[in-house]
Amino acid sequence: MNKNSLIITFLVLLNAVSFAQNAARKPMSQLINDEFKFAANQYKFLAKNIPAGKTPQSFQDGKHVNYDIKWWCSGFYSGSLWYIYEQTKDESVKKEAEEALKVIEPNQTFTGNHDLGFMMYCSFGNAFRLTGKPEYKAIIQRSAESLSTRYHANVKAIQSWNKSKYWDYPVIIDNMMNLEMLNWVSDNGGDKKFKEISIIHSNTTIKNHFRPDFSSYHVIDYNAETGTVKRKATWQGAADCSAWSRGQGWALYGYTMMYRFTKDLTYLNQAKGIAHFILNHPNLPADKIPFWDFDAQGVPFAKRDASAGAIMASALLELAQYTDGEEKKEFKNSAETMIYSLASDAYHAKLGENGGYLLMHSTGAYPLNSEIDVPLIYADYYYLEALARYKKWYL
C-alpha cells in the first residue's frame, strides 16, 4: 500500500470512528438545554468584539470580522440572541438583542437588494414574536414595503441584485428565504399584495430554477423587459450546472415555508422533492453535513458547509410536520443526525474559542475564495432555530 492510500484509509477510518462516537448520543432534550446554556455564555464572548454600529459575521485568521448594517447577514446576530433568550430567559442576552435591533433599524427603508427578510424578519420577527411590541411589527411592515419595490411584473420575480456587467435581472435561489416576511405581513394585517408577490415569485422560481432531479441552479438571469431567461448560472457554486449545497438548503426551507403559508400542495411536493435529492445524494456524507457543493471537486476531501447543514436540519424538522409515515421518519431522523453532528466536536466550538461563534467549518463563497472553513453568523442562527423547533415540535 502506497503513502497516499494509507492516508486515505486513515482518514476514512477516522471519519468512521468520529461518526460512531457521535452515535453515542445524549438525549435530545438534554442536548438542547445544554446548547442554549452554552450559547448564552459563548455569545457574551462574541458581544465583546463587535464595534459600535457594526454586526458580527465571522472569525478568520484570529481576527473578528464585522460588517456594515447593509450587509445581508446583519439580522442574524439579534435573531440568534432572541432564540437564546427565549430558551434561557437570560436578561443580559435580551438586553444585547434589543441593542442589536437598534443598530439595524435603519434597514427598514433599504431597497438596495433582496435581503430585507434576512435582515429584518430574522431579527425583528423573532423580537415581535417574543415581546409583542407594536413598534417591532411596524418596522417589519415597513421592511416588507421596501422589499416589494424590487418586484417587477415583467419578470414575475423579485430582483435579487441590481443590474451590473454580470447580470441584467438576476434572481437567486436564496431569495426564497425573504418571502417569509412578505407572507407574514400580509397574514398579520398588512397589504395583501405582499403575499401575492411571494406566490408569484415562488411559481416563477419553480418554473425556471429547478432541474428534473429537484436540484436548483443558483442564479437565473432574466431579460428585464420580456421576462425570458437569459442564462442559468452560479455565483457561489462549483459550476453553473452544479448543486451548490447552501442553495439547496435555501430551496428546501423556502418551499416548506411557502406550504406553511399557503397550503398549496405544489409547494409541499417541491419541498419533498428537494429533500429527497439532498438526502439520497451519493455525495452526502454519513454525518449528513454536506460538502460546500454536492458536485465539488475533491470529494470526500472537499470543504464542508456547516451552515448548509443547519439550514437543512431546520427545514427538515418543519417538513416532517407536513408529512407522515416513512417520509416523516426519514426527514425527522435526518435532521436529528445533522443536529447531533453539529453538536459534536467535529463542528462545535469550545467555550471562549472560535471568536465566540457556536459552529466551525462553514463555507461562504468558495469560488471567490471568501469565508472558507470559518464560523458564520447564519450557521449559528439556523442551528439555534433547529434546536428550538425540535424542542417545540418533538419533545
- Give the model's pLDDT for residue 25: 87
Task: Give the C-alpha separation, 40 to 42, whole Å.
Answer: 6
pLDDT in tens, 18-44: 544 444 689 999 999 999 999 999 999
- Give the model's pLDDT for residue 24: 62
**Whether the predicted pLDDT of 342 surpasses 90:** yes
What is the average pLDDT score of the chain?
95
The domain spans of the chain are: 31-394
Q: What are phi and psi of 36, to 5 degrees?
A: -70, -35
Residue labelled with grid coordinates 436564496: 174
Residue labelled with grid coordinates 429533500: 275
pLDDT in tens, 44-56: 999 999 999 999 9
**Whether the predicted pLDDT of 228 surpasses 60:** yes
- Give the model's pLDDT for residue 21: 47
**Which CATH fold topology does 31-394 show?**
Glycosyltransferase (1.50.10)
Q: At 183, list the grid cell.
A: 407572507
- 73 within 8 A of 377, measured Cβ to Cβ: yes
Q: At 292, list the grid cell.
A: 460546500
In this prediction, residue 11 has a pLDDT band, given cuts at 50, 70 and 90, of very low
pLDDT in tens, 147-194: 999 999 999 999 999 999 999 999 999 999 999 999 999 999 999 999
Percentages of the chain per state (helix, strand, coil), in multiples of 5: 60, 10, 30
C-alpha distances in angstroms, 333 versus 42, 281, 381?
28, 16, 21
So which residues are the catalytic ones? 115, 174
Residue labelled with grid coordinates 453568523: 377
Task: Give the C-alpha separation, 276 to 23, whole Å.
Answer: 23
